[in-house]
Amino acid sequence: MNIRTVYLELLSGTLGSVGILVAGVIMLTTNFYLANPLIGIWSSVIYDP
């Protein structure tokens, strides 16, 4: 496998997990429940080639 491909795959998984955690913190602290779908849409747009 290409090292760059593996790196990008791990990076996208890590950033997706961080996005989920950020959305959870936003929802708990501000009751802004649209944070989850907005971050989900953002991550799918950014990470899909």
pLDDT for residue 48: 63
pLDDT for residue 49: 57
Q: Hey, is 1 helix, strand or coil?
A: coil
CA 38 – CA 49 distance, rounded (Å): 19
pLDDT for residue 11: 85
CA 21 – CA 32 distance, rounded (Å): 14
Sole residue written with tokens 């790196």 = 7
pLDDT for residue 38: 92
Q: What global pTM score does this model have?
A: 0.74
pLDDT digit string, tens, across residues 1-49: 689 888 888 888 888 889 899 999 999 999 999 999 999 888 888 776 5
